[in-house]
């Protein structure tokens, strides 16, 4: 057993400022010399990048459906053994989803601070916070953080309306100097705005300190929580000596740290390369094209003819390739970007990709692969057309309709789904070594330059 102060940051809904505040709080305690381990609830690639830079530590996902209770329990225990503070950022609203952020907080007895954008309300904010605190007996609410609180009088109205059991922990003024940059799928990737983020994190630490209220200010470490270890089944060394080349740059960056750790546990090594800038693939036995923003860099991807040919040759040799979401778009014949410009892509699978504005698809699904079932999720605002017949579909978490299509062409497995490798290491290892042969082969005439 390990004891460590811990706090769960949740909210009534998305868009209340959870990531901005969590990053600011992590940076505040880091400035005090504390080791802060941050976790993100649910499938997310962008928030963990932000939170990792703010805290100076790796950020992994905690999700009872995607990873399982034992996995989450062990990750929290390992963090508690090394950290001075554990922060967990929730997803969506506190009670949304199955399992929800409240389920995760209750399962591990982590107190919840409710962050709420209180613009345009006062006593109603207190009523909402009180209702959230009393909605479930197994969830401990530590208090309310009032975001976008305009004046001292505004804060006083909220504080006076709260019961003693739900203290006001902080009052945060609107401050454009702490707001995180965004784009169509969420926050801008940390690597693109690293220097700007440093300024915003440091401003955020000041913002938190100025807004903290007694007698239980958010700037004091919360009470320790007990975290217990669990025995996870050992990961078999199914990829000993195998090398995996992983695309990672501004166009491809949706990579779980947990997936990289799983590859190492399987006995594999990996090397990153850039489809935007490199002319040669690393020496590798398998290739992973993860999700990202190829639509923002389609012209540059199309222009890098050398790396495209290297990947086509890799595919023609029958070697395994995993292409997820943005990687799927890159694998198609062409991609129409947000400006309606069409650019030639790899052409290792038939079909055409195109962006579609604000419409999209998201949700938890199980990837039904020939090698086994792997937990996954979808989140995209693009579509593909004229693709081959899929070998299967994702199974939606709570809906009977078929989920995202899964394609296999030679050694290529392509889908909009983002896989969580640790949910089935054996299936992932098989797919990255000798995937089950199925699907149609491409003719030389079908490939594009």
Residue length of the chain: 449
Distance CA 9, CA 32 (A): 20
- Contact between 407 and 431 under an 8 Å Cβ cutoff? The reply is no
Residue 428: both structure tokens together:
């992932």
**Among positive and negative, which fits the CA dihedral 292, 330, 384, 439?**
negative
Question: CA geometry: angle at 57 spanning 52 and 60, to 5°?
Answer: 65
Going by C-alpha positions, the residue among 72, 50, 328 that lies closest to residue 196 is 50
The H or E element containing residue 393 is strand 392-396
- Contact between 345 and 301 under an 8 Å Cβ cutoff? The reply is yes
Report DSSP letters for 259-280, one per residue: HHHHHHHTT-EEEEE-TTT-SS
Residue 313: both structure tokens together:
């040759």
Is 325 noted as a catalytic residue in this protein? yes
Catalytic one of 72, 149, 325, 342: 325
Task: List the beta bridge partners of residue 270.
Answer: 244
Residue recorded with tokens 């014949």: 333
Residue recorded with tokens 């949910």: 423
First to last CA, the chain: 58
Identify the three-state secondary structure at position 30.
helix
Report DSSP letters for 200-260, one per residue: HHHHHHHHHHHHB-SSS-TTS---EEEE----PPPPP--STT-EEEEE-SSSEEE--HHHH
Residue 364: both structure tokens together:
């938890």
Using alpha carbons, list the distances in angstroms from residue 95 to 10, 135, 368.
9, 9, 28
Which residues form the catalytic set? 325
């Amino acid at each position: 057993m390990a004891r460590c102060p811990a706090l769960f940051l949740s909210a009534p809904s998305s868009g209340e400022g959870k990531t901005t505040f969590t990053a600011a709080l992590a940076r505040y305690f880091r400035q005090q010399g504390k080791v802060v381990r941050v976790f993100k609830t649910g499938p997310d690639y962008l928030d963990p990048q932000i939170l990792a830079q703010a805290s100076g530590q790796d950020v992994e996902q905690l999700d009872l459906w995607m990873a399982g209770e034992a996995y989450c329990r062990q990750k929290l225990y390992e963090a508690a053994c090394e950290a001075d503070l554990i922060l967990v950022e929730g997803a969506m609203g506190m009670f949304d989803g199955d399992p929800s952020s409240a389920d995760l907080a209750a399962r591990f007895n982590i107190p919840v601070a409710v962050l709420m954008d209180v613009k345009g309300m006062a006593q109603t904010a207190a009523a909402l916070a009180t209702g959230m605190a009393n909605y479930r007996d197994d969830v401990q609410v530590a208090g309310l953080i009032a975001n976008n609180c305009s004046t001292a009088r505004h804060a006083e109205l909220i504080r006076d309306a709260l019961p003693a059991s739900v203290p006001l922990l902080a009052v945060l003024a609107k401050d454009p100097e702490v707001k995180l940059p965004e784009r169509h799928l969420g926050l801008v990737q940390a690597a693109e705005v690293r220097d700007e983020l440093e300024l915003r994190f440091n401003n955020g630490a000041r913002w938190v300190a100025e807004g903290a209220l007694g007698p239980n200010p958010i700037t004091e470490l919360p009470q320790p929580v007990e975290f217990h270890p669990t025995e996870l089944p050992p990961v078999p060394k199914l990829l000993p000596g195998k090398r995996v080349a992983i695309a990672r740059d501004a166009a491809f960056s949706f990579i779980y740290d947990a997936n990289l750790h799983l590859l190492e546990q399987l006995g594999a090594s990996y090397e990153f390369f850039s489809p935007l800038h490199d002319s040669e693939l690393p020496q590798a036995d398998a290739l992973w094209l993860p999700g990202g923003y190829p639509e923002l860099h389609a012209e540059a991807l199309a222009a890098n003819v050398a790396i495209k040919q290297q990947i086509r040759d890799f595919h023609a040799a029958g070697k395994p390739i995993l292409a997820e979401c943005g990687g799927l778009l890159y694998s198609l014949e062409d991609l129409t970007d947000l400006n309606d410009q069409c650019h030639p892509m790899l052409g290792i699978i038939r079909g055409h990709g195109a962006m579609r504005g604000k419409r999209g698809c998201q949700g938890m699904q199980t990837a039904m692969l020939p090698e086994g079932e792997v937990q996954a999720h979808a989140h995209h605002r693009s579509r593909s057309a004229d693709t081959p017949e899929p070998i299967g579909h994702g199974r939606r978490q709570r809906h009977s309709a078929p989920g995202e299509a899964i394609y296999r062409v030679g050694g290529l497995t392509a889908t909009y789904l983002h896989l969580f490798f640790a949910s089935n290491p054996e299936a992932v290892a098989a797919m990255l070594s000798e995937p089950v042969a199925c699907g149609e082969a491409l003719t030389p005439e079908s490939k594009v330059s």
